[in-house]
Amino acid sequence: MKHKVAVTVNGHKHEHEVEPRLLLVHYLRDVVGLTGTHIGCDTSQCGACTIHVDGKAVKSCTMFAVQADGRSLTTIEGMAKGDELHPIQQAFWDEHGLQCGYCTPGFIMAAAYLLEQNPNPTEDEIRKGLEGNLCRCTGYVNIVKAVQTAAKTMSGTTAGKTQVAAGGN
Amino acid sequence: MRVGESVRRPDGAAKVRGRFEYSSDLHAPDMLWGATVRSPHPYARIKAIDISAARAMPGVHVVLTHKDVTGRNLYGLEIKDQPVLAHDFVRYWGEAVALVAADHPEQARRAAQALKVDYEVLKPITDAEAALAPDAAKLHPNGNITRQVKIRHGDQSARADIVVTGEYEIGMQDQAPLGPESGLAVPEQDGSVELHIATQWLHVDQEQLAAVLGLPPEKVRLTMAGIGGAFGAREDLSMQAHACLLALEAGRPVKMSYSRTESFVGHVHRHPGRLWYEHGADRDGRLVYVKARILLDGGAYASSSTAVIANASCFSCGPYRVPSATIDGIVAYTNNPPCGAMRGFGSVQNCYAHEAQMDKLAAELKMDPVELRMRNALQTGDKLITGQTIDGPVPVAELLKSIAAMPLPASGEGKGGDVDLTKLPGGVSNTTHGEGVKRGVGYAIGFKNIGYSEGFKDYSTAKVRLFTKDGKARVEVHTAAAEVGQGLVTVQAQIAGTELGVNDVVVLDADTNVGSAGSSSASRQTYITGGAVKTASEAVRDRVIAMARAELRAPSGLHIENDNVVTGTGKLVVPLATLLGDEVIEETREFHPRQTFPLDAETGQADAHMQYAFAAHRAVVDVDAELGLLKVVELATAQDVGKAINPQAVEGQIEGGSAQGLGLAVMEEIQLKDGVIRNASFTDYLLPTILDMPPVRMDVLELGDPNSPYGLKGVGEPPTISSGPAIAAAVRAATGRPITRVPIRPHDLTL
Amino acid sequence: MNFLQPSTWAEALAMKAAHPEALPIAGGTDVLVEINLDHNRPDTVMDLTRVADLAEWATEDGLVRVGAGVTYTRIIDELGDRMPGLAMASRTVGSPQIRNRGTVGGNLGTASPAGDAHPPLLASDALVELASASGTRRVPVRDFFTGPKRNAARKDELIAAFLIEPATGPQTFSKVGTRNAMVIAVCSFALALDAGRRRVRTGIGSAGPTPLPAPEAEQFIEGELDWDGRQPPSDAAVARFGELAAAAAKPIDDVRGTAAYRRHALSVMARRSLGWAWQDYRVGWA
């Protein structure tokens, strides 16, 4: 039996009939067509599928799509404003906070939640805030650097959390 | 976009936006989903396969077994010993037996569960030593020894005043790339197939697939799909042949995507091993001889075991002067999961042993462990235990000096007031407030070969094309080299940009429409494919200069800079775009490094390797000795990279490689019971988190190898070799326990 | 799979009565892993995240009643002062993303011996409130866990809340895992001192078929502690407490650790926890 799910994803409304067994991450990837949210483990460990549900970071493999009915979701695709990258995206690129990049969207979404809660985190707070995301390539050093850089960029601009300051390119 | 600059990754923008297309994101209209029926037994005879129930399931289009393999049902990187679909026997838990394609992945999985296989369960051989016993069942026609390497170097009856012995055990590590295996096979009208796949080597996949599918190579075309990490896990075929077989049979595109659990049986692992060592030294600490027996468990099929055991043997003594060596390296078939390539490739296992032995020797001699290593440090011009004279920079002593001189991190204790749990072993799990915590410092150094060895043909092909686009010069670089995350796309663009003086450089998607690049492994791509891009770019440049001289009667000494042809003094001769007009200048070149030769079967003597790379680590570890929990406080490392083509990417490789070494040292192990993996998920196969991996202090040396392009050395693997052994040494220093097995488990430190 | 999504508590109870086989989910952080791994294929799932009442907490008759749908993040942020042991345990659950979804109610429902919330609930003598269409009952958490992944709830019942007395003394929680974050307990230990009643309560996780208290250890140390003079207990008493705590466990060898190590680690954690809690009592509790 299919169920209706109506969600706002990155500001756009979507409505579909889905099987209740469908995971939110599969809904986003296969139904909405947003494949930037990745699947790395199926056991809620790797964090590659991290998105925001009503502003809170969650692993989208821990929710059925039908549970998201009526919620507002933000995925990695919703972070940039047109051609302008979000400062966290910019910082991950600039600081070489990624190699294969598979974990990157999840890290960026986890970092965005962290910086929302704590705009000026210490290195320890950054590490604690990103404990739920695994990266196999970088050894995390440049990920910490990227979040530090993003925090600086973001606090350097007006109070708005999603204000974009970085130079693009 | 020049060599030596920290240029950002060209694929970075797409990756941070979530727009980079990984193999798991592939989609084709009308595609089916494949699923694999896998053996629940580590060893069994297949008596019968009944596909009828599976075939009758809803949505199912195709069910295939070994009978449907259209070509030769055997493949393998070194030895063709592995069936695409098991026919008479299954030899490991999770071996592929049959395939299903259905409309929906869930239907495919259910059908795979419905397929019936009648097995006669056999007693598995799950220990490499047991596999060598004379009465052991033969798992393959030639017996259970996949390869034996003998090295006999120097005086075989050498004796020494000081002798230390040890036995060491290494657990089975998984590469655990974050992106599980996936790919999409698209059949064409003419009976050919197009495979979009995340692989480390397109052409060797193509060659193996052609044989398995019974098609000529030109009818099997491969295009690289986005890769979510590799580290050796994508050197062998996983779902490639399966998806192609299903697609060709169904006449429709077929996608296969492994779950994490399936990924654990879908690729090979790092060889677990047992190593016995005896070191003899004089009273000044100079090594007299090393004797070792290295036994690696290769699992059910050969994969790259024969090359791994060669490395484990060749580098068994570490980067030291060893006048006499007696080394026996054996890799055996068992009914454990197959093992093959993983970053470090044989040099990781032995580094634990030779470095533990050096520390033991230092303790015996009451000598500083770094001093003992320096005293025995290999130098340029020395003979290795394989008889090869090592040339180029051999900075063993410099690297050791560098890490020993780096400042040590502040002690975690004695701050008073609130305890910062995140700085202690156990972290916020609140297991200690300082009780039982001891700090240890450990050192290790390792080395390995860069590129292929033992006469295995090593080369890469690059096509470089220069033309005008929108009034500006553009360079396109086309190779079949796999960008697995290491930054090869950046390096290729930097090299072409440097050699051609052009700012707009595009690296095309890798595919089989250009010649082989070899694999993204053995830390070889920047050297070999970088060399090919350099050579092809030089050929294009020569033609541009010749054209400029011919058309403009320009003087000699021209070069290209910033999209312009300029004189030797930098004066503009002509903008490149103007010179080119509609002309397209394209050159394809192969790059071949110097030749290597097979190890002698009886003595292991040969110029078997092309280049050597070295890295050293110092680890500072806090151990809660009472609970056996630990926290790596800092890793410090020094590595000679010859020339950092992209310094930021080099640092990233060193940090990431060190992290994988840390993982094996303290937590990562595929746990087997009677051949069955007990922890095939990230819940129980633990990877280091951001709270486990410490900051890295590093010294990147650029000593320049006279034999290589730009003087560079391969970078990727050395960090993975010595970081773990340094951690083990630090734990030894902290606890006084011998630590002869990794990963180090809490009960090893307490009971 | 059928999917039920009640929007009120009454509706939820009615649905559970009509569909006793329905598997309730809150944050889904346990259940969905089981489903993703194909370890569980429930026919019917009941999503409780729309029941607003479940996400409330309030004080009643001296107890804090916490709805089964209150997340770990909120327990840490809103209730850390009242239930410090549970808050400490909550901080070790998964990661921020999991703590934003996961709930103590869900942990109780799964009733895994490794559930991080269970030891502090045991040490706090918490009550679990079970409700059905025909009524409500409160079960002491010590009677709640009936077997591996089994609990005292009847088929027609849902977990409504748990109730805890605000801390009446120092509380601690420790968990052994083989990495420094995001790890399932090899074993865990919770301790609560009840200064007023001069009681010690314990909870052991991941070292038996169910979460367990260590009553002999509790009785022994209650008698040894110098509640008035607040002098530290003797080393021998502390050691004995550790031994008795370890003896209460019924561990096995599994992929996460050995039985022998678990006993050893429990004795160490019990000793250390007692030391920390007693130190807090000496300096901090009136």
- Per-residue pLDDT of B686-699, as tens digits, reads 999 999 999 999 99
Quote the tokens at residue B719. 């960090």
Q: Which residues pair with B440 in a beta bridge?
A: B621
CB contact under 8 A, C272 and B433: yes
- Surface of A (102-121) touching C: CB under 8 A: 110, 113-114
Q: Does B711 lie in the same domain as B616?
A: yes
Domains, in order of start, for chain C: 2-164 (3.30.465.10), 171-284 (3.30.390.50)
Number of Cβ within a 10 Å radius of residue B217 = 13
Instruction: Report, as an integer, the average pLDDT of B204-231.
Output: 98
CB contact under 8 A, B746 and C176: yes
**Secondary structure of B194-243 in the HEC alphabet?**
EEEECCCCHHHHHHHHHHHHCCCHHHEEEEECECCCCCCCCCCCCCHHHH
Domain that holds residue B282: 273-453+598-750
What's the pLDDT at B421?
87
What count of Cα atoms within 13 Å lies in the side-chain half-sphere of residue B4?
9
Q: Does B428 lie in the same domain as B361?
A: yes
Instruction: Report, as an integer, the average pLDDT of B181-210.
Output: 98
What's the pLDDT at A157?
57
Band of pLDDT at residue B85, cut at 50, 70 and 90 = very high
Residue of C1, C116, C178, C276 for testing the chain B interface, max B β-carbons within 10 Å? C178
Angle value at C-alpha B9, between B7 and B15, nearest 5 degrees:
155
pLDDT at position B325 over 60: yes
Band of pLDDT at residue A163, cut at 50, 70 and 90 = very low
- Per-residue pLDDT of B144-160, as tens digits, reads 999 999 999 999 999 99
Nearest one of B200, B303, B221 to B525, comparing CA atoms: B200
CATH superfamily of A3-77: Beta-grasp domain (3.10.20.30)
pLDDT at position A152 over 60: yes
> How much of chain B, in percent, has pLDDT values that exceed 70?
99
Chains that touch A (3 or more CB pairs under 8 A): B, C
Give the Cα separation of B350 and C235 in Å (integer): 45
Q: What is the CATH number of the domain that holds B221?
A: 3.90.1170.50
- Per-residue pLDDT of B385-398, as tens digits, reads 999 999 999 999 99
What's the pLDDT at A164?
39
Task: Report the residue of chain A nearest C180, measured CA to CA.
Answer: A131
Q: Does B678 lie in the same domain as B704?
A: yes
B243 belongs to a structural domain: yes
Q: Does B431 lie in the same domain as B311?
A: yes
> DSSP for A21-64?
T-BHHHIIIIIS--TTS--S-SSS-S-TTEEEETTEEEEGGGSB
What is the overall mean pLDDT for chain B?
A: 97
Spatial neighbors of B198 by CB under 8 A, at least 6 apart, are B22, B23, B179, B181, B182, B183, B224, B225, B226, B227, B228, B230, B234
- Per-residue pLDDT of A54-105, as tens digits, reads 999 999 999 999 999 999 999 999 999 999 999 999 999 999 999 999 999 9
Nearest one of A18, C117, C132, A102 to B485, comparing CA atoms: A102
Q: Does B317 lie in the same domain as B445?
A: yes
Phi, psi of B475 (to 5 degrees): -115, 135
Give the Cα separation of C22 and C45 in Å (integer): 5
Nearest one of A140, C273, C140, C216 to B627, comparing CA atoms: C273
In contact, B220 and B185? CB cutoff 8 Å? no
B47 three-state secondary structure:
strand
Place of tokens 């193509």: B206
Nearest one of C24, C55, C67 to C153, comparing CA atoms: C24
Instruction: Report, as an integer, the average pLDDT of B250-265.
Output: 98
Band of pLDDT at residue B415, cut at 50, 70 and 90 = very low
Q: Does B445 lie in the same domain as B353?
A: yes
Instruction: Report, as an integer, the average pLDDT of B567-580.
Output: 95
What's the pLDDT at B223?
97
Q: Which residues of A touch C27 (CB under 8 A)?
A: 62
What's the pLDDT at C36?
86
What's the pLDDT at B437?
97
Q: What is the CATH number of the domain that holds B572?
A: 3.30.365.10
pLDDT at position A158 over 90: no
Amino acid identity for residue B191 in this structure: G
- Per-residue pLDDT of B93-134, as tens digits, reads 999 999 999 999 999 999 999 999 999 999 999 999 999 999
Q: Does domain A87-156 have CATH number 1.10.150.120?
A: yes
CB contact under 8 A, B667 and C178: yes
Band of pLDDT at residue B418, cut at 50, 70 and 90 = low
Q: Which residues of B touch C238 (CB under 8 A)?
A: none
Band of pLDDT at residue B416, cut at 50, 70 and 90 = very low
Q: Does B445 lie in the same domain as B479?
A: no
Give the Cα separation of B175 and B219 in Å (integer): 31
CB contact under 8 A, A100 and B658: no
Distances (CA, A) of B520 to B444, B458, B480, B652, B709: 26, 12, 10, 17, 17
> DSSP for B160-197?
-SEEEEEEEEEPPP----SS--EEEEEE-TTS-EEEEE
The lowest-confidence range among B9-18, B413-422, B510-519, C118-127 is B413-422
What is the nearest CA distance from B258 to chain C, expressed in angstroms? 12
B6 belongs to a structural domain: no
What domain count does chain B have?
A: 3
- Per-residue pLDDT of A104-119, as tens digits, reads 999 999 999 999 999 9
Band of pLDDT at residue B548, cut at 50, 70 and 90 = very high
Task: Rounding to the nearest 10 degrees, give the CA dihedral for residues C106, C112, C113, C118.
Answer: 0
| Strand B60-64 with B96-102, pairing | antiparallel
Domain assignments of chain A as residue spans, ordered by start: 3-77, 87-156
CB contact under 8 A, C180 and B671: no
Number of Cβ within a 10 Å radius of residue C214 = 27
pLDDT at position C144 over 90: yes
Spatial neighbors of B598 by CB under 8 A, at least 6 apart, are B454, B455, B606, B608
Residue of B16, B262, B423, B700 for testing the chain A interface, max A β-carbons within 10 Å? B16
- Per-residue pLDDT of C214-253, as tens digits, reads 999 999 999 999 999 999 999 999 999 999 999 999 999 9
Nearest one of A78, A150, A75 to A118, comparing CA atoms: A150
Q: Which residues pair with B223 in a beta bridge?
A: B196, B511
Give the Cα separation of B586 and B463 in Å (integer): 7
In contact, B335 and B138? CB cutoff 8 Å? no
Give the Cα separation of A133 and B682 in Å (integer): 12
In contact, B9 and A96? CB cutoff 8 Å? yes
Instruction: Report, as an integer, the average pLDDT of C170-198.
Output: 96
Q: Does B494 lie in the same domain as B362?
A: no
What's the pLDDT at B417?
52
What's the pLDDT at B555?
85
Nearest one of A57, A55, A59 to A72, comparing CA atoms: A55
Band of pLDDT at residue A161, cut at 50, 70 and 90 = very low
Q: Does B708 lie in the same domain as B602?
A: yes
B731 belongs to a structural domain: yes
What count of Cα atoms within 13 Å lies in the side-chain half-sphere of residue B76?
20
Q: Does B198 lie in the same domain as B299?
A: no
Q: Which residues of B touch A124 (CB under 8 A)?
A: 420, 422-423
Q: Which residues of A touch C94 (CB under 8 A)?
A: 44, 132
Of A93, A101, A131, the CB nearest to B8: A93
3-state helix, strand, coil in chain C (%, to 5): 35, 25, 40
Q: Does B201 lie in the same domain as B316?
A: no
In contact, B525 and B459? CB cutoff 8 Å? no
B374 belongs to a structural domain: yes
**Secondary structure of B292-315 in the HEC alphabet?**
EEEEEEEECCCCCHHHHHHHHHHC
CA dihedral over B259, B262, B267, B272, signed as positive or negative: positive
Give the Cα separation of B354 and B166 in Å (integer): 9
Residue of C7, C77, C95, C110 for testing the chain A interface, max A β-carbons within 10 Å? C95
CB contact under 8 A, B690 and A93: no
- For residue C233, whether the previous peptide bond is cis, meaning omega lies within 30 degrees of 0, is no
Q: Does B609 lie in the same domain as B499?
A: no
Band of pLDDT at residue B88, cut at 50, 70 and 90 = very high
- Per-residue pLDDT of B12-66, as tens digits, reads 999 999 999 999 999 999 999 999 999 999 999 999 999 999 999 999 999 999 9
Nearest one of C269, C15, C255 to C158, comparing CA atoms: C15
CB contact under 8 A, B429 and C261: no
